[in-house]
Amino acid sequence: MREALTGDSTLGGQQPRKHYGITSSISLAFPREIDHIYTQKLTEAIEPFGVFEGEDELNHRLAVLGKLNSFVKEWIAEISESKNLPPSAVANVGGKVFTFGSYRLGVHTKGADIDALCVAPRHIERTDFFSSFFEKLKRHDEIKDLRAVEDAFVPVIKFKFDGIEIDLLFARLLNIALQSIPDNLDLRGDSLLRNLDIRCIRSLNGCRVTDEILYLVPNKENFRLTLRAIKLWAKRRGIYSNMLGFLGGVSWAMLVARTCQLYPNAVAATLVHKFFLVFSKWEWPNPVLLKQPEDSNLNLPVWDPRVNPSDRYHLMPIITPAYPQQNSTYNVSTSTRTIMSEEFKNGLTVTDEILQGKADWSKLFEPPNFFQKYKHYIVLTASASTEENHLEWIGLVESKIRVLVGNLERNEYITLAHVNPQSFPGSKENHNENEFVSMWFIGISFKKLDNSDCVNIDLTYDIQSFTDTVYRQASNINMLKDGMTIEATHVKKKQLHHYLPPELVQRKKKSLGEINRSSNGGGSKRCSLDGSQLDSSRDTDIGTPFSSPTLVSKPCQPVSSPEDSSITPPNHPVLVFIDNSPTASEVSPPKPEQGMSIPVIGSSKLPITTPVAKPPAPPAGNTIPTVVGRSVIPRITSSSPSPTELPNSVNGAPKRPHSPSQEDPPKRHKDTEVFSDDSAFKEPYPPNSNGLDCEARPAVEGLSATKPMPIPTIDTSRSQRLPSKELPDASSPIPTSNLRVIKNSIRLTLNR
């Protein structure tokens, strides 16, 4: 068994002292009595949020997993017999269900799903899993809501077993020594990956990463309580979503695990504070590593910026400890990293107050008022005509919202695009054909103007390229159906009451009892068609721990005469005047008072109060498939470069002009250094000033002579990374059947 501890010799020829991780610990101090008291108070503070499961629920999960394990063994034996294996082999063929993610880590919440993996011997094929096993599940009385996602990045069967949601992956092992699957099988050995196809490797990755994390922490109970608190904090603060460019469950687990390695004897209250201390001062994009990466000579792609130029563009790398090592934060963008960095600093300030006795732990878990934070918002609306279509459609749209955020970030006048991970239901009253509606809100910060009084900002290209990506993906996977639409609307803060209930728009503190009741509210789990393996835990509770409101005001429509009330906004450019002055919120807005739709359906009539300008020619090759099922054939020209191929602006990197024409893709930065050693994987020692323990300083100074070389990263967009298999090539044609395609010019006028 591999050794998780690393030895380093101490001064004076003393016995080598063991430590966890790739550097020595910052502090080995044991907890004081006051630390135990603060930890008890922390436990009491997070308990009302439903983060702990009762004994009955836990026993129910164990019973369900036992039934599923027996069910899998029975199925494997049946398939083995049908494939003419001898009876002696059939009797011992085995098979096992492994768990991973939050349940395996021991930090799952009430009502959370279970991520599981079915491991079968070599003669069981993946096609058997998605055919005969699927049919066997279908005949089981306790199985409900059964669906298979065979073409996902990580193929999965989803179902409810006696009320417990389960996501079941599949992997078969080809190791010659494993003619059967024993109950004591350990998946941590790299040799198990030999000769496996990539889908089996991805499926095994979740279990291998989870097991490795648990193996690399010094105290599992302290780790678990700390992780529960940090995950709750991240959800409450709106930064828990791998899909939208924040961090997912496995990434938060690795950050907490690294904190535990640096403070191996600390209890949870101390670890929560040290977590914010370490990562508020972390110098990204230096990577977070739990162990020195190992090469198993299996020729699998691993995260290595010395070899892969695309890896140098990752903004916030957190590297999984199991081979093949991957960056679990592949989706992080400039905006999301900025938002999380601010939250780390805010968390440090709050925990400082708590440990000084100036505040309670409840302050750490207060949600931010997202809808008071920005002056301008983009409302993204996804609609479908049936509930089943709606669940599929919003899964795809949500997985691509980070593309829109990236487009907005590259606009030279936008400094931040902040997406709220929580989606909200739309009002059916304003959608005759589309009965099921979901909305996402993106807060926008514009650059302050210095010399010019007025600047026109064109978001047409940003919206067009995003909708092109979504519709192209939907067409490629044959998802596109009648009634599926996307609409983007610009609104000011004062107009949000048209979309949201008053209690969300106006800050109103709830009592702890109200928060607890809402956190336990229902909500159907949506299928993520993104299928990313980056967040191996694939936690389903990616939103804040309170359910979406069910009562929503009617979405606003442009002001028009009564006879125009049934007509959608016109196919004309819309000038929206944005006052960026400090008193903007106090100035009466020009009419129309409500939000302006961005992709809209054409009309021959104009609202008389809408300012109209001559539409400029849109960039060549860009179309907006806005509504499905209108029997209008779009005009398609040559495809333009994909927006995801353009670099983000990070630390002064050039941004895309706000009114782009057909541009050449940016040239790749020429590599100026060649790295031949392992220095790229050396984790920089966390800063030891501004509050870190004094006793750690001699150890840091002692390492100064052999200071690790910084990782070769280029702090700009991830856009130059290797193309994702889940995204179609930019040259893929936009679907041409049954689509209404409208070209609009959306201009915002920014006043100083």
Residue 429 zone, left/alpha/beta (φ > 0; ψ -120 to 50; rest): alpha
Active-site entry in 20, 103, 240, 330: 240
User: Is 240 one of the catalytic residues?
Assistant: yes
User: Is 685 one of the catalytic residues?
Assistant: no
Alpha carbon 299 to its chain's center = 28
Q: Residue 640 in contact with residue 615, Cβ under 8 Å?
A: no
User: Is 676 one of the catalytic residues?
Assistant: no
Burial class (CB in 10 A: 0-12, 13-18, 19+), 605: exposed
Active-site entry in 231, 235, 400, 682: 231
Of the candidates 537, 530, 541, the one whose C-alpha atom is nearest the C-alpha of residue 205 is: 537
Rounded Cα–Cα distance for residues 344 and 325 (Å): 25
User: Is 535 one of the catalytic residues?
Assistant: no
Pairing mode, strands 114-120 and 164-172: parallel
Of the candidates 109, 90, 100, 110, the one whose C-alpha atom is nearest the C-alpha of residue 65 is: 100
User: Is 115 one of the catalytic residues?
Assistant: yes
Structure tokens at 210: 């989870």
Q: Residue 628 in contact with residue 484, Cβ under 8 Å?
A: yes
Return the biggest CA–CA distance within the chain: 91
User: Is 452 one of the catalytic residues?
Assistant: no
Q: Which amino acid is at 325?
A: Q
Identify the three-state secondary structure at position 575. Answer: strand
Cβ count within 10 A of residue 310: 16
Q: Which amino acid is at 702?
A: G
Buried/exposed 397-415: b ≥16 CB within 10 Å, e otherwise: bbbbbbbbbbbbbbbebbb
The DSSP-derived string for 67-125 is HHHHHHHHHHHHHHHHTT--HHHHHT-B-EEEEEHHHHHT---TT--EEEEEEE-TTS-
Active-site entry in 25, 35, 103, 115: 115
Of the candidates 655, 729, 694, the one whose C-alpha atom is nearest the C-alpha of residue 416 is: 655
For the chain, give the number of residues: 752
Rounded Cα–Cα distance for residues 422 and 403 (Å): 17
Q: Residue 141 in contact with residue 91, Cβ under 8 Å?
A: no
Of the candidates 603, 602, 380, the one whose C-alpha atom is nearest the C-alpha of residue 487 is: 380
Active-site entry in 128, 167, 311, 564: 167
Active-site entry in 24, 25, 27, 102: 102
Rounded Cα–Cα distance for residues 42 and 200 (Å): 40
Active-site entry in 113, 462, 530, 564: 113
Structure tokens at 147: 């669906």
Distance (Å) of CA 21 to CA 220, 540, 585: 15, 29, 50
Of the candidates 228, 247, 271, the one whose C-alpha atom is nearest the C-alpha of residue 108 is: 228
The DSSP-derived string for 650-674 is -TTPPPBPSS--S-PPPPPPPP---
**Strands of 454-458's sheet, edge to edge?**
454-458, 746-751, 574-579
Of the candidates 328, 331, 332, 365, the one whose C-alpha atom is nearest the C-alpha of residue 346 is: 365
Of the candidates 229, 226, 228, 234, the one whose C-alpha atom is nearest the C-alpha of residue 266 is: 226
Catalytic residues: 102, 113, 115, 167, 231, 240
